């Protein structure tokens, strides 16, 4: 099987995650409140709830997999070291930029109230990924032995999900700066705080270490088969224990911090990963609109949120004008239109980078510079 086909499963999972994320944000932003109470929507919500775990998990998986051959360059502080730090910084900067109270430096300084700052500080998917990548990066620099590194990732994941219920009732803003407190739990607008969400990234790195070793030993398919079994067991075990009437008094009862609910979703993500591997092996996948979206996932993530929530229409967003007012058909049509636009943008950007890289770089810096200049002067 060609090398590209063997690794296409990574971009398949990431691509599907980011495309379904478009549906998640369209429906959450525009669907009428009365429709959200229907049984089918609750089932859709559970499916949609797998998007962020998949996205975060595959980010950790990809980093560990691609960094294997760059370790010495990282440790010598060569170009790959600074390039990796730049990528992490770009992800974090994008995360904060998407939550700016206003697209105007002057208005941020003069008009932002306390709630606006707390919303800006919140930990979203990109924040969680950036901090998680930084942790994986620092651990990779510090730990030489692959077995030790893999063990640390596994134990770190267990610790993150294990302590999450015990810190979710703590208001960290009382004894640490609000920007740091936002990363700890969901007390102040954070939807994806580090606890327990960073656990998906740590386990993603752990699985990638095992996959890399199995691939080098020529046992890739055996590893994937066993991973499917492990995923099924983790999913079923987490669901069964989660259903038991067990509650620790000092722990939070919030489902988002529940370790067994976490394991249920982790098991499903593992199964999705193996399904993508078998599909890529069967189809010898090398070209697909899903792959395009997966390879340009950061651009698709940011762009579709700007379309929905960007304040470009007389200082208001599409969400401001049409939020919580659409029916099912309208949301489906809007999702398909937005997905089509995002895939087209991903294809165009990938084509530019492959065929006209200097032009793509110039376009990126012109866009970034213009955006920053308008933000400062507006």
**3-class secondary-structure state, position 98:** coil
As to burial, measured by CB atoms within 10 angstroms (0-12 exposed, 13-18 middle, 19+ buried), residue 40 is exposed
Q: Give the C-alpha separation, 61 to 150, whole Å.
A: 12
Give CA separation, 2 vs 5, 103, 280, in Å.
Answer: 5, 46, 11
As to burial, measured by CB atoms within 10 angstroms (0-12 exposed, 13-18 middle, 19+ buried), residue 160 is buried
Q: Give the C-alpha separation, 122 to 125, whole Å.
A: 10
Segments making up each domain of the chain, as ranges? 3-377
Provide, for the chain, the percentages of residues in helix, strand and coil under a 3-state DSSP scheme, each rounded to the nearest 5: 80, 0, 20
Question: Residue 125: its pLDDT value, please?
Answer: 93
The model's pTM is 0.91
As to burial, measured by CB atoms within 10 angstroms (0-12 exposed, 13-18 middle, 19+ buried), residue 33 is exposed
Could you tell me which residues come within 8 angstroms of residue 19 by beta carbon, excluding any fewer than 6 positions away? 290, 293, 300, 339, 342, 343
Question: Residue 75: its pLDDT value, please?
Answer: 85
Question: Residue 23: its pLDDT value, please?
Answer: 94
At 31, phi and psi to the nearest 5? -70, 145
Q: 142-159 burial by CB neighbour count: b if 16+ within 10 A, else e?
A: ebeeeeebbebbbebbee
**3-class secondary-structure state, position 200:** helix
Question: Residue 4: its pLDDT value, please?
Answer: 46
Question: Residue 3: its pLDDT value, please?
Answer: 42
Q: Write out pLDDT tens, residues 21-79.
A: 999 999 999 999 999 888 888 889 889 999 999 999 999 999 999 888 888 888 888 88
Q: Which residues of the chain have pLDDT under 50?
A: 1-5
Give CA separation, 219 vs 63, 210, 275, in Å.
Answer: 21, 11, 17
Give CA separation, 233 vs 226, 268, 276, 372, in Å.
Answer: 11, 10, 19, 49
């Amino acid at each position: 099987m060609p090398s590209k086909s063997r690794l296409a499963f990574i971009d398949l999972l990431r691509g599907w995650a980011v495309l379904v994320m478009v549906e998640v944000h369209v429906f959450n932003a525009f669907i009428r409140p009365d429709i959200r109470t229907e049984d089918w929507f609750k089932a859709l919500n559970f499916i949609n709830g797998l998007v962020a775990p998949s996205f975060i998990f595959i980010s950790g998986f990809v980093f560990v997999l691609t960094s294997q051959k760059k370790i010495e360059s990282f440790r010598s502080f060569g170009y790959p070291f600074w390039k990796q730090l730049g990528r992490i910084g770009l992800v974090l900067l994008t995360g904060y930029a998407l939550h700016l109270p206003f697209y105007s430096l002057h208005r941020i300084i003069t008009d932002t109230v306390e709630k606006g700052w707390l919303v800006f500080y919140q930990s979203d998917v990109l924040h969680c990924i950036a901090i998680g990548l930084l942790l994986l990066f620092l651990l990779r620099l510090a730990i030489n032995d692959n077995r030790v590194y893999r063990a640390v990732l596994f134990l770190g994941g267990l610790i993150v999900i294990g302590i999450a219920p015990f810190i979710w009732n703590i208001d960290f803003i009382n004894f640490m700066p609000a920007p740091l407190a936002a990363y700890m739990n969901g007390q102040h607008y954070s939807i994806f705080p580090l606890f327990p969400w960073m656990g998906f990234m740590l386990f993603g790195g752990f699985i990638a270490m095992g996959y890399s070793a199995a691939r080098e030993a020529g046992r890739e398919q055996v590893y994937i088969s066993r991973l499917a079994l492990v995923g099924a067991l983790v999913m079923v075990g987490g669901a069964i224990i989660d259903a038991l009437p067990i509650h620790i008094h000092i722990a939070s009862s919030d489902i988002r911090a529940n370790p067994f609910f976490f394991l249920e979703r982790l098991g499903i993500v593992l199964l999705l990963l193996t399904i993508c591997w078998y599909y890529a092996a069967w189809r010898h996948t090398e070209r697909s609109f899903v792959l395009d979206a997966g390879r340009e996932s950061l651009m698709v993530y940011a762009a579709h949120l700007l379309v929905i929530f960007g304040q470009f229409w007389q200082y208001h967003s599409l969400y401001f004008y049409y939020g919580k007012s659409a029916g099912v058909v309208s949301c489906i049509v809007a999702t398909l239109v937005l997905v089509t636009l995002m895939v087209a943008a991903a294809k165009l950007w990938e084509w530019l980078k492959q065929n006209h890289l200097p032009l793509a770089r110039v376009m990126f810096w012109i866009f970034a510079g213009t955006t920053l200049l308008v933000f400062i002067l507006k």
